[in-house]
Structure 1
Amino acid sequence: MSDFFSGFADLVARLADLLQPVFQGSATAAAIVLFTMAVRLAVHPLSRAAARGQKARAKLAPQLAELRKKHAKNPDRLQKAVMELHAKEQVSPFSGCLPSLLQLPAFFLMYHLFSNAEISGEPNSLLGHTLFAAPLGGRWHDALGDGGPFGPAGLVYLGLFALVAAVATFNYRRTKRQMAASPTPAGAEGQTVPGMGAMMKFMPLMSFMTLFTVAVVPLAAALYVVTSTTWSAVERAVLYRDMPGMAGAPAHAL
């Protein structure tokens, strides 16, 4: 396993060397952003498949409404009937989770790489690299202790927080519009899958959890999260542009 982390560290270092003429001292940070984009591009086919699945589920709304009406007094029979309908139409209610799950190993790899002083028994030279004035192995509380929120490192985090807040607000408003315009009430469909109703109510707020993540993980891992979240916002805006509630929405709306 140590050889694996060492190999990944070498990959990041080599990529940073290629970017150094353009990004100078922030070349390693740029390499992390580029690596994140490569990961997102690799899972993009799954994101497209998830979008097709969600659109297919939206088309099943009339049939789901009929099933709820037919089995209103029998929740167990309703749940079974809905699952049978999903199986018949080859639609999975959880297909949208797969792209996110496949990104977790890449995130934890970045987290581990910038959380350890040594790799394979050798000093971790990547910890000395920075994004402007903020060390890639540092955390927000380190920046607060070294100049405060408006110090050189603190300003880097404020920029990341501002970007995350903008993306989260865009996602929040977009999700609320889509849920409000959905022909199938979220609460009603949530009855077919245990816990789905509560998750649907909480879903619009999930993007803001990224602010907490950025605040507590190493800056390198925070860069991965911010880049991935921004990619997701743009990707979903394109893939789901013809979903209910998206028609006529201004592209610049936040």
Structure 2
Amino acid sequence: MSVLSVLDPAVTVAHAVVSAIAHVLPTALAIVLFVLAVRLCLHPLARAAARGEKARSKLAPKVAELNKKHRNSPEKAREALAELYRKEQVSPFAGCLPMLVQIPFFSVMYRLFTTPNDLLDHTLFGVPLGLHVGNAHGAGQFAVFGLLYAGLAAVGYVNYRRARRAAAAAQTTPQPGAALLPYLSFASVLFAVLVPVAAGLYLLTTSVWSASERAWLYRGTNQAPAAALAL
């Protein structure tokens, strides 16, 4: 059984929920409200991930010191790090599990807004929600895509600035390829070009939520999430 088939029941339920909302509100607005509701339900997991990342960040100087001290003895380094995490009651993987648990939810929403279904027959400002930019024609349709891309680019810029500030505050030895990481903030713009309007609307909504959520959870610090799910 494939992963896609396992997600089918969840996609069906999600479709039913969005359809129910769309009976009283425009479908595009129903999509936005559904995504916001899902992200609100997942917020406790995001909080747990933030706590884990902050705990690991706090221990980072000690971890670096132990690695340097035992750089010629990997076995002693592992033992020392294990003792440090045990003493501080912090898991080296703290924050990772809550993030991984969210992946199925994002996968369900992505499938719902990219797989052909009756929801995508509705429109946003007269543009079909199932339309891809490659099939667009007329100023009106391109304007809708332009607004979606502009919104994603704006959120990407906010995330980019935060990532740059976090990197500067860390003042650690740059790792290979680290300089390119902040630019991944704009990946959603490139991805949006490949998906229909409905998925673009989903990406914009969830990206705005993620940026706002990170700003709140990491307020007062220069730390940025090591891996942020925005899809």
TM-score normalised by length of structure 2: 0.80
CA distance change for structure 1 residues 100 and 52 in 2, over 3 Å: closer, same or farther?
closer
The number of aligned residues is 218
Give the match for residue 199 of structure 2. 221
1:125 aligns with 2:118: yes
Matches within 5 A, 1:106-117: 106-117=105-116
2:135 is matched with: 142
Q: What pairs up with 1:1-254 in 2 under 5 angstroms? A: 5-19=11-25, 27-75=26-74, 77-79=76-78, 81-98=80-97, 100-117=99-116, 124-143=117-136, 146-147=137-138, 151-182=139-170, 185=172, 187=174, 197=175, 200-244=178-222
1:67-86 CA-to-partner distances (Å, cap 9, x unmatched) read: 03311333564355435533
Shift of 1:133: 2.6
Compute the TM-score of the two structures, normalised by the length of structure 1.
Answer: 0.73
Instruction: Provide closer, same or farther for how the CA distance between residues 179 and 227 of structure 1 changes in structure 2, counting only shifts above 3 A.
Output: same
Amino acid at match of 2:135: D
Task: Name the counterpart of 2:229.
Answer: none
Distance 1:169 1:155 in 2: 21
Secondary structure of the equivalent of 1:216? Answer: coil
Q: Distance in 1 between matches of 2:35 and 2:99?
A: 13
Provide the C-alpha distance between the structure 2 equivalents of 1:95 and 1:227, rounded to a whole number of angstroms: 27
Q: Gaps (5+ residues) in structure 1?
A: 20-26, 118-123, 188-196, 247-254
Contact 2:56 2:90 in 1 (8 A): yes
Q: Structure 2: 5+ residue runs without aligned partners?
A: 225-231
